[in-house]
Structure formats: structure tokens, C-alpha cells
Amino acid sequence: MSLPIKDILDHLHINDINHAFSTGSQWGSSANAVTKDIVSPTDGKKIAAVKFATADEYNTVVETAAKAFKTWRTIPAPKRGEIVRQICESLRANKKQLGTLVSYEMGKSLQEGYGEVQEMIDICDFAVGLSRQLYGLTMHSERPEHRMYEQYHPLGIIGVISAFNFPVAVWSWNAALAWVCGDVCIWKPSEKTPLTAIACQHIAQEVFKRNNIEEGVSCLVIGDRNIGELMSNDTRVPLVSATGSTRMGKAVSAAVGARLGKSLLELGGNNAIIITENADLDMSLIGAVFGAVGTAGQRCTSTRRLIIHESVYEAFKQKLVKAYAQIKIGDPLNENNHMGPLIDQDAVALYLDSIEKCKAEGGKFVVEGGKLDGGPYSSGCYVKPCIAEVENHYQIVQHETFAPILYLIKYATIEEAIDLQNGVPQGLSSAIMTNNLREAETFLSYAGSDCGIANVNIGTSGAEIGGAFGGEKETGGGRESGSDAWKVYMRRQTNTINYSKTLPLAQGIKFDL
């Protein structure tokens, strides 16, 4: 481990990890806790060892959070927003250190690590404004001298299960909004990237402590899937927000649904860019390459498929091949590199297996993939981004591979292109590159993209916090971040007030005594 990384760990209170859970300033773990080494995919070196929480410790956290909720919900929303504003300022002050740790622990480029922390800052800014406009509607009653309206109340404990690829940003999307809504949060980070979560918990709890907020508003539980299962089955947790694979999401949805709880699911993506004959090919190239190789293809919004019009197919393919030859792969802390490693060697094995399956189905690779070994790639987690010509119906193309494999598909008409775009089980992000108004509007119409995100002349990867983020079909249907996504963290209540001297019934019903 290089000295700058050690200094960053010390700065973020990650020098000796002896605790499996936190309810704020209180941290703890059992004497016989399971311990796991956290190894950076960047250089294969151990960063630290963490402990996993037990079921009893999880229960302690939930009890503390439930108690805190009773007080936190009584604090006026603008006051809760002020505390989130202070957390935002702490994130700004720690952006460089936290962004570097995100990059080192997860393997994404340093620029993307900084960008992830900036997303946290942005959602906190959004939540502060939101704290003064948690609105309800007023409706006219059919009964005279009655007033009818609706209001929103906090749900209670929000469980957040986050994934390794965005180890901190997705938590903040949930936590910042939930806090201003009056909820408390219990966070189970990915067991692959818990150190950045510990750092965030320290940053948040210092602000809560400074404002004399009791334990339990911000909680952290480190563990494997067992903790996620406990949370999903826990009736004390009315909403579970889970980010991960479709397989994981189906398990969470089934468990939460069985107890009639609520789930917010952000699952797999199989995102395509349609490149029409009217596209700016140079601009399209930027969107396609960043979408495919950014975060080493480990974003839910990564570009997996390029659906290219037959008239520009060969020209654009050659542009891609030339661009891929210029991609620099290596240490993500080196800002000259475009792509870092996959998260671990298991991910590398899945990447290699997907390449073989693609070839077996008839895929023709125009840029060959493979594992990189030795020297700067000694961690065993580095791979080559690759490109294959395929048919959309191939089983491997229908499946989301969390790696930098890009599939090229040819089309003839815009209707065919949209059918290909929609012809996968997932429905997260989509894009079209065109300077033709009719093509763009068709893509955005009811007959166009079936995804939760549909872009024109930008890629599939990357989203602003002002818009609600999420997708359809096997992506889960959840919406996080901007717009009115805050409503999912609250329960809706309809109120009718009778200020007359009689009690008329609805629908003109008579009930005389």
C-alpha cells in the first residue's frame, strides 16, 4: 500500500477496523465475529480486515433505529434538511480522500471516484431544497363545508442494500431523501466494498453528534447476504431499497412482498445505443466508448449493445476499433488511464466465460478480449475491453455481463432498431444518436424505448440527480434520486375535515336515526 493511501485511511478513520456495526457514534462487534480481508483489485494488496455482524447485532441496530425514528420524525423537515446540508459540507471537505478510497477499493478510475462523491454532494443539495417542499394535494369534497386533502408521513426504518460498483453514491440517493422525509436508515453495503461505507458512516455520524441527534438515525451493518435476508424478512423495516443483480432483486422482492412490505429495486441493465444514419459519428463514438469501458463495464447503465444502421455500420465499426486501440488500462489512481480492473477474480472468470459463450453462439470478435497478467496487472483483475459482432437473440446477449464486452448489431429501419433495443429482459437505460427529429421523437414516444431512461444524443451511462433514476422489466421498476422519488420513502394519507354542523354522507347516502 502506498503512503498516500495509508494517510487517506487514517484521515477517514479506517486504520483499525474492529467493529461490525454502527448506530452512529456507537460501534461494536462480537468477540467471535467472522473477519474478512478487503483486498484492492488495483494492486491485489490487503487494505484492511472487517468484521461481519451477527443476527443479534443486527437486531440491536434495528431496535436502536426504531427508537430514534420516534424522535427524528418530530423534528421539522427544514431542520432535518439543515443537518443534511452539514453532511453535504463534510462530504465536500472530504471529497478528495473519499473519492480516492472509492477508486482504490472498487477499482474505478480516480475521476469516476471523485464523480461518485460529487453525486453524493449533489443529492444532499437536492434533499436540502426538498426539505422545504414535501407537499400534498388539496381536493374539492362533494360534501358541503368539508375539506379534503392528502399528506405524506415518514415510513420509519429504511433498509438500504447497496452494490460494489457504486459503493457510496446509491446509499446517499436513499439516505439523503429518507432523512429529510423523517425516516431513519440502516445500510448494508456490499461485502466487497465496506470500507467506503465505514468512512461515510464516520462522516455522517460526526454531523449527527454535533447536532445532538440521538443514536440510530444513520446505522451501518457490515455482513454478507445473511444480513440482507434478515432485513428483507424484517417486518420492522417497511421499505427495503436494494441495488444489485436481477437474481438478488427477485429474492428480495419475494421476501419483502411475502410480508406485504415495500421494495425499491434497481437491478440489471442491458443498455443499447441506436446509431442511425443521421447520427454525428464522432460524437456517437465518445458516448459509446465511455459507456462501454467506463468503470470497466461494471455500471448498471454501461453500454452493452450498439444497434447501428447498415449504411454506417462498417464506418462506425472501424472508428470503434481505432478508439479501442487507444484505451489505456492500468492503475485507476493514475488519471492518465481510462480503465481500471474488474472488482475481483471471480468477475474476471465470468468475463472470460461470457467471451467463450459468445464465440460458441457465433459471435465474431473484431477486438479480442482476454485477461492481462504480470507487472501492473499482478492483481489478476485486469482485462481487455472487447467488441463482438452478434445477433440480438443470442443467449449471452440477452444476459447482462458485468464486464467491458460490447456487442454490435446491424439494423435497417428505425422500427427494427427499436424492436432490437427493447428485445431484452432488462429495461434500464437507452439512447439514440441522431440529428433527425422524427427518429428522436419516435424513440421517445409510446412506440419507442421501453426503458426507464431514454436519451437523445448522449450515451446510456451517467445520470443527473435531478431526474428519477430507475428502469422497467427485470430492472425492477424502482425510482431513486430526483423528481418525486421522495414519495417512495413516505406513506400517503388522505384526510377529510368536516367543519359543518351536520354529518352528510358521501354519494348522497341517507342514514336517519
Which residues are annotated as catalytic?
266
Q: Using N-to-C axis directions, what is the helix angle for 194-210 and 95-106, rounded to 10°?
A: 160
Phi/psi region, residue 144 (left: phi>0; alpha: psi -120 to 50; beta: rest), is beta
Name the residue among 439, 404, 403 with its Cα closest to residue 421.
439
470 within 8 A of 478, measured Cβ to Cβ: yes
Say what angle helices 194-210 and 169-181 make with each other, to 10 degrees: 30
Give the burial class of 123: count Cβ atoms within 10 A of its Cβ; 0-12 exposed, 13-18 middle, 19 or more buried. buried
Residue 8 φ then ψ, to 5°: -65, -45
Distance between CA atoms of residues 300 and 426, nearest Å: 10
Distance CA 358, CA 401 (A): 11
Alpha helices in 297-344 (DSSP H): 313-324
Q: Where are the beta strands (DSSP E) in 165-259?
A: 184-188, 218-221, 239-243
CA 108 to CA 381: how far, in whole Å? 12
Residues shown for the chain? 513
Paired strand residues for 405: 386
